[in-house]
Chain A
Amino acid sequence: MSTETRTEAAAPEPAPASGVKESAPQAKAIAEALTTGERPARPSPMSTSLTFGWRALLKIKHVPEQLFDVTVFPVMMTLLFTYLFGGALAGSVQDYIAFLAPGVLVQSVLFITMYTGTTLRTDIDRGVFDRFRSLPIWRPSALVGMLLGDGVRFAVGSTVTALVCLAIGWRPAGGFVGVVAGIGLVLIFAFSLGWIWTFLSMILRTPGSIMGVASFVLMPLLFGSNIFVDPSTMPGWLQAWVEVNPISHLVTAVRDLMNGMPVGPELGWSLMWSAGLVAVFGSLTMWKYRDPS
């Protein structure tokens, strides 16, 4: 094969006019890069998951608009609901924010989890995911890493929401530790809920349809809950739903943590729901991940 002479001759081409330092690929250098032959040991699932988490952070660095939804949306929700309902429901904004803050934090974070699904669908469509799926790594790590990276966005969203609540008069009895513990619990639940959206992105073909289905799922969960009002004023059938709604358990647990109250069985329920979501939708996602539509 006369490869060598061909490529050697082609190599010293003039640099393109753009002025950017760019040279043609060099067959010799490519051969050298190949002969390195270094094949490191297979990395652990933890390591690859964290690497994918790093990718998510790099994407935030390059596309900072990604932080728009996690900051502006929670601020808007908090202000709207507090000033809209505060006077009517609790007599004053001051009194209402004490009730609402933990709930609106849960609502803000869980609402933005659905972007996980649309982002993943976009990745699949662009072909990046096929590259990842072709790698000899622990299979769920691309998705776990993505959800971990989203965890960072959710943490930013939670912090922003908490700060807005503090600014308009929220004084949680649980103090800093209580608030952080509450946010921690929300993040665990958000990570688990994310697996529903990853599954949706495996079976639905467009980001729009994922968004539609996700909203449809979230609406009754978030609004049919104890986030905004005490369920004791609701009709019986709605109370029954609110009672079994996992979001209500989560909100109660987060409230207890943030208000410095002893935490009831709701903490256990929330963690069990989280584990259940990962088990069911994590498995479904990985099953479809082998052959997504």
Chain B
Amino acid sequence: MTDLAIETSGLTKIYGDTRAVDGIDLAIPRGGVHGFLGPNGAGKTTTIRMLATLIRPDAGSARVLGHDIVHASDEVRSRVALTGQFASVDEDLSGRENLRLLAKLYGFRGAGATRRADELLGAFGLEGAADRQVKKYSGGMRRRIDIAASLVVTPELLFLDEPTTGLDPRSRIEVWDIVRALVAHGTTVMLTTQYLDEADQLAGRISVIDQGRIIAEGASSELKASVGSGSLHVRVMHRADLAAVREILVRELGVEVETTTDPHGLVAALEDRSGVTRALSSLEAAKLELAQFALGQPTLDEVFLALTGHTADGGDSPDGQPTDEEVAA
């Protein structure tokens, strides 16, 4: 039992009429990164908040590192840490003061607390900003101090709630490197994200959550395999050709061909790859020019679409509000 990092059964949280988390069953082993993937408002944050003992479930049960989250919440709290949109640091204080504060709360005394704070500031490349107020930090620095704050005492399990939302690409890669370093050290990481490439990059196993329910689970390769053997992406040269190209592809491939957010693009999920060459020849014969085409493993985006019927970033809410919904939920 205790070799599981997280084990839940029928975990449920209800806000008003909304079943924010609607009976989730998880069995996540120790070690590595477990991805928790879903669009805004899917229930990721609410689940994590329950597992980290910040809110209480309305039904179901959960054990984290072998301890019940309701009846042994203190045991859970002493073994896990969390970082995310909701568990941050004090913006009014400097980076060093924040880390010293947490070090003291974990029981380090005076000089010990300062030493631990400086160690972490160094490791996260924040020495230069140590005495600046956190509200003056850049997005990437802010995320680093948030993560550093979770590592004052090395946790057995770290919850990372959308650690790269709103970060520039370079800072994202920095955060990914930090996550890899944590995992290499033996910490189990549960990562929520709405970015499929992030789950793809970091997570060994992925749970896909939508509308409070787990709709799929597995390694990223398994999830991809579940939607067929890959997909064909084409981009037409002339937009006027789109319908004609689509018609030929449907005929030759024998599968449905979807339009994409790109007005010139089409994508077809393939049962097998045999028809592709024939389809391309037919297009050439019909003098329909393509700007590009690609045959590949399905992306997690396509997996998501196939599983939920809507795209990951579209969801049922208009985009642009990355986190508010879940926080308010």
At the interface, yes or no: A27 with Cβ under 8 Å from chain B? yes
Would A22 and B125 be within 8 Å (CB), given that A126-B88, A137-B105 are in contact? yes
Report Cα–Cα, A8/B154, bound state, in Å. Answer: 22
At the interface, yes or no: B182 with Cβ under 8 Å from chain A? yes
- Interface pair B112/A40, CB less than 8 Å apart: yes
Q: Which of B74, B92, B94, B116 contacts A136 (CB 8 A)?
A: B74
A-B contact number at CB 8 A = 163
* A232 contact set on B, CB distance < 8 A: none
**0/1 per residue, B99-129, Cβ < 8 Å to A?**
0011011111100100010011011111111
How close is A96's CB to chain B, nearest CB, in angstroms?
41
- Interface pair B55/A291, CB less than 8 Å apart: yes
Q: Which of A30, A38, A51 contacts B105 (CB 8 A)?
A: A51
Q: Which of A1, A128, A135 contacts B90 (CB 8 A)?
A: A128
At the interface, yes or no: B188 with Cβ under 8 Å from chain A? no
- Interface pair B93/A58, CB less than 8 Å apart: yes
- Interface pair A30/B55, CB less than 8 Å apart: no
How close is B104's CB to chain A, nearest CB, in angstroms?
4
How close is A157's CB to chain B, nearest CB, in angstroms?
20
Would A133 and B101 be within 8 Å (CB), given that A21-B128, A30-B124, A33-B123 are in contact? no
- Interface pair B151/A134, CB less than 8 Å apart: no
How close is B250's CB to chain A, nearest CB, in angstroms?
41
Report Cα–Cα, A33/B125, bound state, in Å. Answer: 12
At the interface, yes or no: A212 with Cβ under 8 Å from chain B? no
At the interface, yes or no: A181 with Cβ under 8 Å from chain B? no
- Interface pair A131/B87, CB less than 8 Å apart: yes
- Interface pair A134/B119, CB less than 8 Å apart: no
Would A24 and B125 be within 8 Å (CB), given that A33-B120, A134-B53 are in contact? yes
Whose C-beta in chain A lies nearest to the C-beta of B94?
A62
At the interface, yes or no: B283 with Cβ under 8 Å from chain A? no
Which residue, B122, B144, B183, has most C-beta atoms of chain A within 10 A? Answer: B122
At the interface, yes or no: A92 with Cβ under 8 Å from chain B? no
Interface residue count on the A side (C-beta < 8 Å): 52
Whose C-beta in chain A lies nearest to the C-beta of B104?
A51
* A27 contact set on B, CB distance < 8 A: 177-178, 180-181, 184
* A23 contact set on B, CB distance < 8 A: 125, 127-128
Would A131 and B122 be within 8 Å (CB), given that A31-B184, A34-B151 are in contact? no
Would A55 and B93 be within 8 Å (CB), given that A21-B127, A27-B180, A32-B123 are in contact? yes
Interface residue count on the B side (C-beta < 8 Å): 61
Partner-contacting stretch, out of A41-49, A83-91, A271-279: A41-49
183-226 of chain B: CB within 8 A of chain A:
183-185, 187
- Interface pair B181/A136, CB less than 8 Å apart: no
- Interface pair A3/B181, CB less than 8 Å apart: yes
At the interface, yes or no: B78 with Cβ under 8 Å from chain A? yes
Report Cα–Cα, A22/B174, bound state, in Å. Answer: 13
Q: Which of B52, B56, B92, B106 contacts A59 (CB 8 A)?
A: B92
Whose C-beta in chain B lies nearest to the C-beta of A41?
B107
Which residue, B82, B87, B112, has most C-beta atoms of chain A within 10 A? Answer: B87
How close is B9's CB to chain A, nearest CB, in angstroms?
20
Report Cα–Cα, A3/B97, bound state, in Å. Answer: 31
Report Cα–Cα, A62/B109, bound state, in Å. Answer: 23
At the interface, yes or no: A130 with Cβ under 8 Å from chain B? yes
Whose C-beta in chain B lies nearest to the C-beta of A48?
B105
* A31 contact set on B, CB distance < 8 A: 181, 184-185
- Interface pair B92/A62, CB less than 8 Å apart: yes
- Interface pair B93/A25, CB less than 8 Å apart: no
Report Cα–Cα, A98/B45, bound state, in Å. Answer: 58
Whose C-beta in chain A lies nearest to the C-beta of B128?
A21
At the interface, yes or no: A244 with Cβ under 8 Å from chain B? no
Report Cα–Cα, A201/B53, bound state, in Å. Answer: 20
Interface residues of B (CB under 8 A from A): 49, 52-56, 74, 77-78, 80-82, 85-94, 97, 101-102, 104-109, 112, 116, 119-120, 122-129, 133, 141, 144, 149, 151, 153-154, 173-174, 177-178, 180-185, 187
Could you show 5 A-B contacts with beta carbons less than 8 Å apart?
Answer: A33-B151, A34-B185, A62-B93, A126-B91, A131-B82
Which 5 pairs show the lowest CB-CB distances between chains A and B? A21-B128, A40-B107, A136-B78, A29-B123, A23-B125
> Given A23-B125, A33-B123, A134-B87, list of 13 further CB < 8 A pairs?
A3-B183, A7-B180, A10-B177, A26-B125, A43-B104, A43-B106, A58-B93, A62-B93, A126-B91, A131-B82, A131-B87, A136-B74, A136-B77
